[in-house]
Structure formats: C-alpha cells, structure tokens
Amino acid sequence: MWIYEKKLEFPVKIGKTDPATAQLIMSQLGGPDGELAASTRYLSQRYSMPWNEIKGTLTDVGTEELAHAEMIASIVHQLTKNMTPEQAKKSGFDKYFVDHTVGIYPVSAGGIPLDAKYIGVKGDVIADLNEDLAAEQKARVSYDNLLRLIDDPDIREPLKFLRAREIVHYQRFGEALRVAQENMDCRNFYAVNPSFDK
Amino acid sequence: MSEREKLLKKVQVLDFAMTETALYLDTHPSCTAALEYYRTLLAEKKKAQESYECQFGPLVQTSAAEGDKWTWIQCPWPWETEE
C-alpha cells in the first residue's frame, strides 16, 4: 500500500501562463520516457525479482517516480490554470483544450496518449534491469532537451532536479545489476533465468 | 518566500536526503555510516515536520485529527501556489 504526503518532493512555484511550454513538459507525464510509465514499469517488475536489494530498489524508485509525476502535473497545471481561449489558440494548446480543458491528462508532447507499450516487463532480472538503465538515460535526455528549449528559471529549477534524479536512479539500477550478477553464474549470466528457473 | 514555504522547504530538504540515503541503503544494506546518517536525518525530519504541522496543518493524514475539525482537506494542496 501507499501513504500520501501532502507536499511535493521539490517545490514548484510558477507565476506565469505559458501553454506552449506546458505542452512540451507534459511529455514527461504521458510520453514514452515519462514519469508515469517509469513508475508503473518499476513497480510492476518487482514481483518476479529474486533478490531483496533489487525488490527494494524497484519499490523505492517506483514510488519516487510517482512523486515526479506529481511535480510534472503541478508544473503543467500552474502554466495553464489561468489560460484564456486566445492563449490556447495562439500557443497550439487548443487541440488538447478541446478534449481536456485545463485538466491533467497524460499525453506526449506530440499529443499521443500514454500507452502500456512504454512499460517494459520481461520477467527476467538481467533484461528488466537493462531496460531500466536505458529508461533512466532516455528520461535524462528528454530533460536535457526540455532544458535546451526553456529559459524561465522558475520552470528550469524543478526540471533540473528531475534530470539529476534520473542520473542517481541509473546509478542505483547499475548497482542492482551488479548484485544480480554476483548472485548468478559468473561464467554465463544467461545460463538460467533466476526469476523463473528453480 | 512565505513563512509556510520556508518551514516546508526544511521538511522537503530533510525528506529528500532521506529518500536519497534510503535508495543507497537498498543496495548497501550493511553500510553503517549510511545507517547512522539516516537515523540523524530521521530525528531532524521529525522535528521539522512537527514545527510545520503545528502552524500550517497536516503533512500526513495521521496528524489531521488532533483538534475538533478534520484538517487534512484544508488548502493549499501541493500543486497550488499562494496568490
């Protein structure tokens, strides 16, 4: 189970209205390398993991990603809550507005809704942890790209925090992979799937 | 930054350090220095959370039933900013 804490992991306080920027950042909620896909990926992979260090890492990183989804949603909310129909039209946010008004709905920057295809679960510790290492790097690149496009310091600060978290998670998943390999046959890591073969 | 935001930031800083240390401990469960650091942070965080909650309301639901009113639902919620 989970317990809610009534605060963000890192402060988000944005005064201006900027739907064009909101549309870009929304990708980190509903896009292929976004926080919702990440959270569901890690929390789903836990069940077939054979070692405690890895169960713990996936539980805690998956939980932290939920807090990141909340930060992204808060950024998008604050950038659009006072939007006028004219601003929606001028910024290109009007297409999203037709279906979702100023609600938070997970889509990519290109408008493609969140898809379960983004959630890699193979049921094999080596395959899944390598998926996670790649996922953290892909999310880091998305934050790099957002930071190339966005100048406002109030928006950049939380994005920089989230970018740094991707790097730390990559490090932790690397250690989880090391733990897995130490527990496996060092002459051939692929001899068995320890998540299945008994 | 308002007084509320200042006190909240203190909790956020300590909670973040705890999140970071916990993740490290997941793959280094026998690191006594990290365990000691986690315990120090936890004690500080409890104090910071208490001083926030007695002025500005609950951060967790278990702190919301102390008076004669359920304070959990009071504003602001985390995604809201003070005008």
Q: Show the domains of chain A with their CATH numbers.
A: 19-182 (1.20.1260.10)
Q: Which helix (H) or strand (E) holds A139?
A: helix A125-149
The 10s digit of each residue's pLDDT in A32-91 is: 999 999 999 999 999 999 999 999 999 999 999 999 999 999 999 999 999 999 999 999
- The count of structural domains within chain B is 1
The 10s digit of each residue's pLDDT in A94-113 is: 999 999 999 999 999 999 99
Whether the per-residue pLDDT at B83 is higher than 70: the answer is: no
In chain A, % of residues over pLDDT 90:
99
Q: Does residue B71 sit within a domain?
A: no
Q: Does residue B70 sit within a domain?
A: no
Q: Is B23's CB within 8 Å of A172's CB?
A: yes
pLDDT at B80: 96
Q: Does residue B81 sit within a domain?
A: no
Q: Which chain B residue shows the shortest CA-CA distance from A168?
A: B20
Residue B24 sits in which domain range?
3-63
- In chain A, residues 20-39 whose CB comes closer than 8 Å to chain B: none
Q: Tokens standing for A172?
A: 């932790």
**Mean pLDDT, rounded, for A1-29:** 98
Q: Is B26's CB within 8 Å of A53's CB?
A: yes
Q: Does residue B80 sit within a domain?
A: no
Residues of A in contact with B7 (CB under 8 A): none
Test the B interface: residue of A4, A5, A6 with most B CBs within 10 Å: A6
State the complex-level ipTM: 0.96
